[in-house]
Amino acid sequence: MGVETFMGARVADFDPPVRGDAITADRYYSAAWMQREWDRLWGRIWHLGGVVSALEETGDYVVHNFMRESVMMIRQADGSVKAFYNACKHRGNRLVWSEMGGADVITCSYHGWQWAPDGELVHVQDAEDFPGGNPCGKVRLKELRCETWGGFIWYSMDPDIAPLVEWLAPLPGQLIGYGMEAMVRVLHVSCDVPCNWKIIRDNFNESYHLPTLHPELATFIDDDYTDTSFEMYPSGHNRMVQKGCQPSGRLDLPDVLEAPLDDLLGAWELDPIAFHGRAREARLALQRQKRALGPARGFKHHDSMTDSQLTDYYHYTLWPNVTITMSPDGFQILRSEPHPTDPERCIFEHWYMMPPVPGRSDVITPVGMVPFAPAEKDTVVYGTRSLGYVADQDMSIAVGQQQGLHSHGYDGAHLSGQEKRIQRFHELLDDFLKA
């Protein structure tokens, strides 16, 4: 089993130069910026549309509403998934309003035109009354590029975009061991948050804020940037790897292990007391123990994971707006999308995916215990309920930052070296909006 190596803060092959473009405030609140992003960015990427497991039978669909666009992804008779714009070809009525469902045919509520799962028009009222003859079999819903990877359905409005696995590179190869396809989405929260979508991107593109905003993580995630691996890929995606099950190198090592590291060890039959004064040895001991005990406990996914993946946090920010945080026994999707009309709001979604383990009933997630079962989408009014403990901390700052960026006192970001991914993100965005 391979062991990931940590090569310091930067990996030379994946540390591209940046130009130092100014990160101006207007990009976070200007309607003109928002329009340029719609015109030049959102039509040229792969969008994460939904989970494949939601589509059990032919005709089952999920819908992704993005700004003012709406896309249906429908299970086909041959098992594949196709995506169509959610607009009737007759006079443009939106066809489907629920975000999940299933039907042998989709019937438009305006004049009753019916569409088969493969997008073909199969029934119209008064078919003989059309000048060119019966349109059935001739008219089709407008189709988009659609592919699956990682248990997710992805679509693109760009007919010429690179194939999905190429566009995602190098993630598919790096993440193959986790068995993502088998995982179950046990948490799906969505919230309209009063900040621009890029503020949330910036936050996930740096770990500089961890000691101040999430100090409680330091007892079991090593947030010392000098012991963290950062990689920025030609595709625009990037990766940060932090050692888990190990206290932060920023801290003086405690004599007594602090929570939750004691519980993490106990859960794998290691005596936390034996690690008092030796906290930095816990990580490797846990890797060995998970390797030894995992199969008998039904943790099948451990077999294909590296030793490092058994303890560490592999945090990916995909260009431009999806974060995937792989932890040893589950992963989070953290996505921010622009609000349909207001540049100072965004739609934040938090999904938590967990592998099936025999006997699993309730599981711990970022919002607490939930049943181990596919989650319904839970739309939260901002500030009324949790979006996840750590995410709540991030959002509280994001909302305040949105206000601060309007000030005459802000004249562009002053970034540390470990925040370089933010600089690169904005330069990629600048390039897209100019192209």
Please report, as ranges, the residues that interact with ligand FES according to CB under 6 A. Answer: 88, 90-91, 93, 108, 110-113
- Tell me how far the alpha carbon of residue 256 is from its chain's centroid: 36
Tokens of 306: 């590296």
Contacted entry of Fe ion, ligand FES, none for residue 97, CB cut-off 5 to 8 Å set by kind: none
Residue 111 binding target from ligand FES, Fe ion, none, CB below 5 to 8 Å by type? ligand FES
186's tokens: 């046990």
Q: Choose the one of ligand FES, Fe ion, none that binds residue 394, judging by a C-beta under 5 to 8 angstroms depending on kind.
A: Fe ion
Judged by beta carbon, residue 110 or residue 130, the one nearer ligand FES is 110
Distance CA(168)–CA(230), nearest Å, equals 17
Number of residues in contact with Fe ion under rule CB under 5 A? 1
Closest to ligand FES by CB, 106 or 261? 106
What DSSP letter does each residue of 19-42 carry, written as one string? ------GGGGT-HHHHHHHHHHTG
Q: What are the strands, taking DSSP E only, across 293-422?
A: 313-318, 322-327, 330-338, 346-354, 362-365, 368-371, 378-380
**Closer by beta carbon to ligand FES, 112 or else 254:** 112
H/E segment holding residue 74: strand 69-75
Nearest distance from C-beta of residue 113 to ligand FES, angstroms? 4
Phi/psi-derived region of residue 131, left when phi > 0, alpha when psi is between -120 and 50, beta in every other case: alpha
Helix extents (H) in 113-249: 164-168, 171-174, 197-204, 210-213
CB of residue 88 to ligand FES, shortest distance in Å: 3
In the bound state with ligand FES, the residue whose beta carbon lies nearer, of 90 and 209, is 90
Burial profile 52-88: b = 16 or more Cβ within 10 angstroms, e = fewer: bebbeebbbbbbbebeebbbbbbbeeeeebbbbbbbb
* Residue 88 binds which of Fe ion, ligand FES, none (CB < 5-8 A, kind-dependent): ligand FES
> Under the criterion CB under 5 A, does residue 223 sit at the interface with Fe ion?
no
β-bridge mates for residue 427, sequence order: none
- For ligand FES, the closer CB: 91 or 377: 91
Binding partner of 93, given Fe ion, ligand FES, none, CB within 5-8 angstroms per partner class = ligand FES
Q: Give least dist CB 90 to ligand FES, A.
A: 3
- Sequence-distant (≥ 6) Cβ neighbours of residue 10 within 8 angstroms: 230
User: Least distance from C-beta 127 to ligand FES, angstroms?
Assistant: 12
Query: Based on CB atoms, which residue is closest to ligand FES, 112 or 356?
Result: 112
Q: Which of residues 383-412 bind Fe ion (CB under 5 A)?
A: 394
Binding residues vs Fe ion (CB under 5 A): 394
